[in-house]
Amino acid sequence: MSEPLIPVFDGHNDTLLGLTLAEREGKPISFFENNQGFHIDLPKAQAGGFAGGLFAMFVPPVNNTGRELELHEKTTPVDQAYALEFTMHMVSAALRLQGASNGAVTICRSPAEIKAAMSAGSIALVLHIEGAEAIDPDFHALEVLHSVGLRSIGPVWSRPNIFAHGVPFTFPGTPDQGPGLSAEGRDLVRLCNKKSIMIDMSHLNENGFWDIQKLSSAPLVATHSNVHALSQTPRNLTDKQLDAIAESKGVVGLNYAVGFLREDGDMLNADTPIERMLNHLDHLLTKLGENGVALGSDFDGCTVPQTIGSSAGNPTLIEAMRTHGFGLELIEKIAYKNWISLFERTGM
């Protein structure tokens, strides 16, 4: 008899984007069937112990979609009206997904709801914005989105907006590119603190990072970022940034994207050994401690190591951690407990 799967609560995926793009192209895809082009669907989730996560709502540039986005050194900004319309489509997709799931998917607004969904075997879906272009400077959209379940915001993707500047995908490179938060960005941080909306600093440039570090009352979080010392992409975190996250008792989710794992930054080489993931985990654990490291796969938004392949492959990573010498308690913290603990500590 096989051992029960260790559940995984994932800090970042782009599955809602994929489902929404398929709808907008007139070729809707069922989440409840095995879809070859998706990392996450219900059969794969159940096979791999994917128990829930932060489901990102990312607005791609007009007429520029798909995973190829991350290969671009420069990205095109989008306007607020288009971003809000696209985001509302993704919210609608999440609501319809829950409604059609017969209890297999639950939109969760609190740690208690996440734990209840996981206990019931339902995928715990937490709404997250990746790049706040949909949010107006008066924050009316934020009020509405929060009311329907938005609990996490990344102020930027890898492009500038009215709040902050994101890092490009150039390699090698430093996150120290561009100015810090705007006045609107500072207001966004204050309002997120007030509403206990988590602020995700993945994609944010270094000046913006330090502005949030000084301004925010919440633990610092990067939902899907890796170690700059091991892979020198601007998307990864420097040791100085990791030290600041540790001091705040924050969390970093390991990104499975091969371009952020590899020494050469190759974004498409799936023949990336799982040992690279373990190298980054070791460094994160050294810097953040066992309560500060989690998973943030970036499934359905990147190329992942072929040994993982999809959410069905999470047990392969779990077993690699076990073989590497991680004990069960540490593995469970990385797999799901550290995210839930963070949400509880911050009053989500």
* pLDDT at position 66: 47
Report the distance separating Cα 145 and Cα 215, nearest Å: 23
* pLDDT at position 94: 99
* pLDDT at position 279: 99
CA distances (Å), 248 to each of 179, 213, 221, 288, 334, in order? 23, 9, 9, 10, 18
* pLDDT at position 3: 77
Report the distance separating Cα 59 and Cα 161, nearest Å: 12
Q: Residues 57, 58, 63, 69: what is their CA dihedral angle, to the nearest 10 degrees?
A: -140
CB 45 within 8 A of CB 311: yes
Task: Show the domains of the chain with their CATH numbers.
Answer: 8-346 (3.20.20.140)
Sequence-ordered alpha helix ranges (H) in 101-205: 111-119, 140-148, 183-195
CA distances (Å), 228 to each of 138, 232, 242, 294, 334, in order? 35, 5, 10, 17, 20
Provide CB contacts within 8 A for 337, sequence distance 6+: none
Report the distance separating Cα 101 and Cα 293, nearest Å: 31
> Per this entry, what is the length of the chain?
348
pLDDT digits (tens, 9 = 90+) for 92-149: 999 999 999 999 999 999 999 999 999 999 999 999 999 999 999 999 999 999 999 9
* pLDDT at position 67: 44
pLDDT digit string (tens) for the chain, length 348 residues: 467 899 999 999 999 999 999 999 999 999 999 999 999 999 999 999 999 999 999 999 887 654 445 555 457 789 999 999 999 999 999 999 999 999 999 999 999 999 999 999 999 999 999 999 999 999 999 999 999 999 999 999 999 999 999 999 999 999 999 999 999 999 999 999 999 999 999 999 999 999 999 999 999 999 999 999 999 999 999 999 999 999 999 999 999 999 999 999 999 999 999 999 999 999 999 999 999 999 999 999 999 999 999 999 999 999 999 999 999 999 999 999 999 999 999 999
